[in-house]
Amino acid sequence: MSQHNKPTPLSGFPELLPAQRNAELAVIDHLRRSFELHGFSSLETRIVEPLDRLAKGGEIDKEIYVLRRLQADDEASDSGLGLHFDLTVPFARYVQENAGKLEFPFRRYQIQKAWRGERPQEGRFREFTQADVDIVAKDELPFHYDVEVARVMAEALAGLPLPAMSLQTNSRRLIEGFYRGLGAADPQRLIAITDKLDKVPADAIKRQLVEEAGLDDTRAQQCLRLAQIRTPDTSFVERVRSLGVEHELLDQGLTELAAVLDGCAGIRSDGFRVEANLRIARGLDYYTGTVFEIYMEGYESLGSVGGGGRYDSLVSDGATTYPGVGISFGISRSMVPLLQRGVLTGSRSVPSAVLVALADEASRATSDAVAQQLRARGIPTEVAAAPQKYGRQIRYAERRGIPFVWFPATDAATDQVKDIRSGDQTDADRASWQPPAEDLHPRAVSMHVKEEQP
């Protein structure tokens, strides 16, 4: 209400224009629908957690935003609350707080924002939206839930109107078993070294395996061979077996990872694939079995746009432990760079599929009545702002991307509807006309941006 200088965007806090927001909504709606079809309940947590919850093992290693009450007394100004930096910490706290009121196994999805104070860069924001699915049980979580979580995220990703995605998966049991079978004394050390294979040349990794982990040359070579196995099906089993390493834990890992691949077998599509990728470990995080990373094709420079895995203990309250398995997908991480580069947008800036034209101000009631009849049948409709010449009303629709302009009947004539893309104008019955299904709501559409000539 007061007058201000023109505001400028805040770095790291991306905001979308209406057409871009419609693309984001299409993605969120698709994710939500996929998760709900599989019985995952929606959860929304408060944005704040006590600071000691945000600390990991006593130490806070994330850039956290702390809340202070502006009007509070100086000494009490810090609220002791910080904005959550992911959706896992609040989920763990929620499960512990409400354990007695929840039914386990508890499947939940959470599509919400999180905040980190770190320096913004492409694909990394201070405020970002992510979509998490997790299944959490009491005491024990059978392995088939790993397959279930992979499948629900795979189905969700397969239908996204975004560049091709891959859900890459591995088993920490498989790699740990392999290293143990090799006779390695400290498998965690090997995981830490080979995990850097995407950033460090293979030669250097091999040298580290020999010098730092004490492997001989042959064994170091076998570690590298394992890490190079990547298959779209269960053929990785044969390839691991051919390396000649034996261990009980390796067997279990191979069986489990094969089950994940089998479970997702039906879901591969043009825009999506599931792969066993035996170099994936998710660092030294708390994952204990299956692990996942999500990559977007052509945008590998963004790094992974999601990931997750199985953890033996989301939270423990002494008497009870809650193991879980989950995957997180970065909505802002994947979408905002596409929206900012202009390779993705919404098919229109408004939800309206129809603009009802206005002959003159006196016939506004007529145009309103047509709009109400179309809305009553689920067709988003708006009425022209002013009784301008029809050519200007059509351009009004065009600027918003509204595909149809409706001309109410005058005198004895019938209503007509114009598809402003083709220019086709036909008689139409306001009580029965339907737009094509793909025009009913805004969609996310890819724009073909001309590559610059080299």
Pick from 187, 199, 272, 194: nearest CA to 226: 194
Q: How far is the CB of 454 from its own copies (least distance, A)?
A: 32
Nearer to its own copies, 277 or 332 (CB): 332
Q: How far is the CB of 444 from its own copies (least distance, A)?
A: 13
Q: How far is the CB of 276 from its own copies (least distance, A)?
A: 20
Nearer to its own copies, 8 or 301 (CB): 8
Rounded to whole angstroms, the Cα distance separating 343 from 57 reads 42
Q: Find out whether 96 and 317 touch, Cβ atoms under 8 Å.
A: yes
Q: Find out whether 293 and 327 touch, Cβ atoms under 8 Å.
A: no
Neighbours of 230 (CB within 10 A): 16
Nearer to its own copies, 303 or 387 (CB): 387
- Copy the structure tokens of residue 321: 């432990």
Q: How far is the CB of 11 from its own copies (least distance, A)?
A: 11
Q: How far is the CB of 36 from its own copies (least distance, A)?
A: 4
Q: Find out whether 253 and 276 touch, Cβ atoms under 8 Å.
A: no
Q: How far is the CB of 391 from its own copies (least distance, A)?
A: 17
Nearer to its own copies, 179 or 396 (CB): 396
Q: How far is the CB of 320 from its own copies (least distance, A)?
A: 11
Nearer to its own copies, 83 or 294 (CB): 83
When computed from its CA atoms, the radius of gyration of the chain, rounded to whole angstroms, is 27
Q: How far is Cα of residue 80 from the mean position of the Cα atoms in its chain?
A: 30
- The three state secondary structure string of 301-316 is HHCCCEEEEEEEEEEE
Nearer to its own copies, 89 or 227 (CB): 89
Q: How far is the CB of 424 from its own copies (least distance, A)?
A: 23
Nearer to its own copies, 269 or 316 (CB): 316
Rounded to whole angstroms, the Cα distance separating 280 from 176 reads 12
| Cα distances (angstroms) measured from residue 372 to each of 163, 251, 310, 318 | 38, 64, 51, 59
Q: Find out whether 420 and 404 touch, Cβ atoms under 8 Å.
A: yes
DSSP annotation string for 199-237 = TS-HHHHHHHHHHTT---HHHHHHHHHHHT-EESSTTHH
- Copy the structure tokens of residue 413: 């004539």
Pick from 32, 275, 39: nearest CA to 156: 32
Nearer to its own copies, 399 or 421 (CB): 399
